[in-house]
Amino acid sequence: MSILVNKDSKVVVQGITGSEGQFHAGQMLDYGTNVVAGVTPGKGGQKTLDDRVLVFNSVEEAVKHSGADTSIIFVPPPFAAEAVIEASFAGISVVVCITEGVPVHDMLKVKRVVNQNGTRLVGPNCPGIITVDECKLGIMPGFICTKGNIGVISKSGTLTYEAIDQCVNAGLGQTTAIGIGGDPIIGTTMQDCLELFEADPETEGVVIIGEIGGQMEIEAAQWANENMSKPITGFIAGQTAPPGRRMGHAGAIVSGGDDTAEAKIRILKECGITVAESVADIGAVMKASMA
């Protein structure tokens, strides 16, 4: 099993003829992802990636001809929001937006549209999703993953990779790993992912990687305390960040109260989540929680 994507997902790559789209679409194909179409306005009818993928002018055309149900977006920030909206109105059920720097004002409109249409958006400013040995949707390196029974949720791209590596080193493989992004407004939250992993019979434990700023980790922990039957290992990045200074992600800024690392760690522990003190301990702590 998996969450969000699997070997049967039919993927369209928006922005496939750009340098980022070309590189990562090729990597996804090599991993075994079922890439059925690409989209670049004005380049419809062309083939790309050694003639493996047909390019369309619009997502609507791509869906009509290929049956695509999943989209990944490699489109520059000024146009990324419209790309998500286009995919949503074309009937795409899962959209992953890799693009960094999407304006918050644009995301307010996107959030409204995807909610109205029932589209699952992951991102923006995220590394994407891997369902191990089935589907790689984004920029995560597939070779670091091993098939197993641990779900991974992270705001951070690089810490997603580190959590996967630490789990693999501890003898724990993954079902699905998802980087949700660290912007102030994103599509899929930690709680959303926990709900999906709780319902997945093959996922037996979950790692969550949070950071300073916002209330998402707290809301997820409180939901898990009431609803989650599976062990969770958590880590909060930014423990040395000074108040009022943004650290890396647009959403990672401490304004006071419960959005500090210390407060989040305390609340996670109060909600029954085992918290790793260091990134290097994630795998060992998760393994101990599974015993």
- Write out the catalytic residue numbers: 249
Domain for residue 135, yes or no?
A: no
pLDDT digits (tens, 9 = 90+) for 143-168: 999 999 999 999 988 888 999 999 99
15 CB-near residues (< 8 Å, 6+ apart)? 21, 39, 40, 73, 74, 75, 76, 83
Do 157 and 183 share a domain, yes or no?
A: yes
Do 168 and 115 share a domain, yes or no?
A: no
The pLDDT assigned to 209 comes to 95
Domain for residue 210, yes or no?
A: yes
* Res. 260: pLDDT tops 90: no
pLDDT digits (tens, 9 = 90+) for 78-101: 999 999 999 999 999 999 999 999
The pLDDT assigned to 242 comes to 59
Provide the whole-model pTM. 0.93
Domain for residue 3, yes or no?
A: no
Give the angle subtended at the CA of 130 by the CAs of 129 and 136, to the nearest 5°: 95
Do 60 and 114 share a domain, yes or no?
A: yes
- Report d(CA 254, CA 215) in Å as an integer: 11
pLDDT digits (tens, 9 = 90+) for 171-187: 999 999 999 998 999 99
Do 95 and 165 share a domain, yes or no?
A: no
- CATH number for the domain spanning 224: value is 3.40.50.261
The pLDDT assigned to 93 comes to 98
In angstroms and rounded to an integer, the radius of gyration of the C-alpha atoms of the chain is: 18
Overall average pLDDT of the 106-116 stretch: 97
The pLDDT assigned to 291 comes to 81
* Res. 207: pLDDT tops 90: yes
pLDDT digits (tens, 9 = 90+) for 29-66: 999 999 999 999 999 999 999 999 999 999 999 999 99
The pLDDT assigned to 212 comes to 84
pLDDT digits (tens, 9 = 90+) for 64-73: 999 999 999 9
Phi, psi (rounded to 5 degrees) for 198: -60, -35
Q: Which domain holds residue 233?
A: 140-290
The pLDDT assigned to 244 comes to 54
**How much is the mean pLDDT over the chain?**
93
* Res. 265: pLDDT tops 50: yes
The pLDDT assigned to 144 comes to 95
Q: What is the DSSP string of 171-229?
A: T--EEEEEE---SSS-SS-HHHHHHHHHH-TT--EEEEEEESSSSHHHHHHHHHHHH--
Confidence of residue 248 (pLDDT cuts 50, 70, 90): low
Domain for residue 132, yes or no?
A: no
Taking a C-beta distance cutoff of 8 angstroms, is the pair 151, 207 a contact? yes
Domain for residue 35, yes or no?
A: yes
Domain for residue 155, yes or no?
A: yes
The pLDDT assigned to 30 comes to 97
* Res. 241: pLDDT tops 60: no
Sign of the Cα pseudo-torsion (136, 138, 143, 148, in order): negative
